[in-house]
Amino acid sequence: MESIGVLMACPMSSYLERELDKRFKLFRFWNFPQKSEFLNEHADSIRAVVGNAFAGADAELIDSLPKLEIVSSFSVGLDKIDLNKCKEKGIRVTNTPDVLTEDVADLAIGLMLAVLRRICECDRYVRKGLWKTSGDFKLTSKFSGKSVGIIGLGRIGLAIAKRAEAFDCPISYYTRSEKPNTNYKYYPSVVELASNCQILVVACPLTPETHHIVNREVMEALGPKGVLINIGRGPHVDEKELVSALLEGRLGGAGLDVFENEPGVPEQLFGLENVVLLPHVGSGTKETRKAMADLVLGNLEAHFLKKPLLTPVV
């Protein structure tokens, strides 16, 4: 398989990069500033694209690669891949579900605790020597028993619910239709969900329908004591409205692992102690990133050996 051309869309995993280099003819897209010239020269030799949550395969790239057979995503999200174009051209698509579920769910709970108990602010308080000079830290908010509403009850949403239940948190959710085989309270709209929970978690896929699913109306429903947690995708939340709601005290707090224009983050959030900001690290453990890389490699090898794909999407 060393002669098979694989285009890596952006840097994502040094282990994955090394393994792709060993097994295929690897092209690192970021090393070619003149993208059009590169594609014109190598289009006929590239049969696979490896992308992630930041760069994938849009219609323009797919159309420029006539020999493309498979897009393998180093991510569970598929919003950077034009799935309709892939279906139209018979191009296979895979992602990395399941292996990252636990890490992302763990982080969601960590964000809830960090926001409510002001863990990051407490850390800074000690490091600045304020404990000695200013005395005890102010009182914070309890997490156990808070009602948690989850947008999207897929693998990750269910894993978050399971963890929150261990803290005696009542669970409710919104999805396009009510899920069978669950005792969690269902609400038919995000506004109703936000009106009936204290912590709102975004855990759904990013699609045109879920773009800005958390808008001003939802934030108003969540209210000045409510907390928003986003471990989905940045564009799930109307970021301008989020900044306004936090600055004006119309929303109680936020824990954010994702943003609309990554790695750009609104600077107005930097000074807010009721906000915890993370650099999109939901699946960012050594163990999980290796498992994700192995899935990407396994899917590529299965495809080119004409075996069943491990995690097919298209």
* Among 92, 118, 233, 289, the one annotated catalytic: 233
Q: Is the dihedral of CA 228, 232, 286, 158 positive or negative?
A: positive
Helix 155-165 and helix 101-116: axis angle, to 10°? 50
Looking at the DSSP assignment, which residues form a beta bridge with residue 185? 172
- Strand pairing category for 199-202 and 148-151: parallel
Q: Where do we find the tokens 């296979």?
A: 92
Has 212 been annotated as catalytic?
no
* Among 23, 28, 117, 280, the one annotated catalytic: 280
Q: Where are the alpha helices (DSSP H) in the chain?
A: 14-23, 35-42, 59-63, 83-89, 101-116, 119-127, 130-134, 155-165, 190-195, 216-222, 239-247, 286-304
Has 233 been annotated as catalytic?
yes
* Among 41, 60, 165, 262, the one annotated catalytic: 262
Has 42 been annotated as catalytic?
no
No. of helices (H) and no. of strands (E), the chain: 12, 12
Angle at 64 between CA 87 and CA 97, to 5 degrees: 45
* Cβ count near 148 (within 10 Å): 27
* Cβ count near 213 (within 10 Å): 20
Q: Report the catalytic residues.
A: 233, 262, 280
